[in-house]
Amino acid sequence: MNNLSISLIQTDLHWEQKEENLKLFTQLFTQVPQESQVIVLPEMFSTGFSMQAQKLAEPMDGPTVSWMKTQAALTRKIITGSLIIEAEGKYYNRLIWMQPNGIAHYYDKKHLFGFAGEQEAYTAGEKRVIVQVNGWKINLQVCYDLRFPVWARQNPKTSAEDDTPSYDILLYVANWPERRIEAWDTLLRARAIENQSFVIGVNRIGKDGNDIYHNGSSALIDPWGKVLWNDTDKEAIFTYTFKEENLNEARARLPFLRDRDSFVLL
């Protein structure tokens, strides 16, 4: 594993105004350090957390994914964030992982937020997606997924000789409101501790079109559960360089992942 630099962008979003949001992020990308290799955007970064799927959805070759492809090539960085995608007559809250070479991986949000009627507008994903960069394995998840620890759990060891965890970084993009931010803060730390992984949580700020306020509280948590960075109520860009020795130390000193339960998540 080589060192990996990731930049997190916390900002307000223009409600259901794609062009304005893409202009915003294009400008913010100029503030990301050159050495950064991945840029993380919030959930539904081009629209806000809208249930207007039919109105706002795009195909995978639509303008927002095309913008991601162009920006990834121009910045020579991976760009990731979720947006509203239509595929085969269904709508998804889809987290795109766009590489500079134009190849995209994606994860469809598994747990849809019933409290807001998300399951009525969108189709749930069916599988976890773990991507790799610089030897680091990154588990891609979206917002409400955070409340379901089984979905984030490290898979068990495959044999007595192989105890390799299934991922090293757990990444959440979100539109998580301030009124429930204590749960966000607490669960990000819990996921890091129980999985002995780094955890990234990127949330938005500002009021959305439903007059719901978001204070951000985007964070980076280390495998011990220590908060390495957290920021609230303002636009912020934070870059961190992940180092293999920091991860290995936590897993070697307290190797409790060896004792984890036997089940496999697909």
| Cα gap 153→262, rounded to integer Å | 11
> Is position 137 annotated as part of the catalytic site?
no
On the 0-12 / 13-18 / 19+ scale of CB atoms within 10 A, 10 is buried
Catalytic option among 43, 58, 118, 178: 43
Alpha helices in the chain (DSSP H): 18-29, 53-56, 63-75, 118-121, 149-152, 181-195, 244-253
Please, are residues 108 and 141 in contact by the beta-carbon 8 Å criterion? no
Identify whether 109 is a catalytic site residue. Answer: yes
Q: Is-catalytic flag, 88?
A: no
Residue tagged active-site, from 18, 69, 143, 178: 143
Q: Catalytic residue among 18, 77, 109, 118, which? A: 109
Give, for 84, the enclosing helix (H) or strand (E): strand 78-87
Annotated catalytic residues are: 43, 109, 143
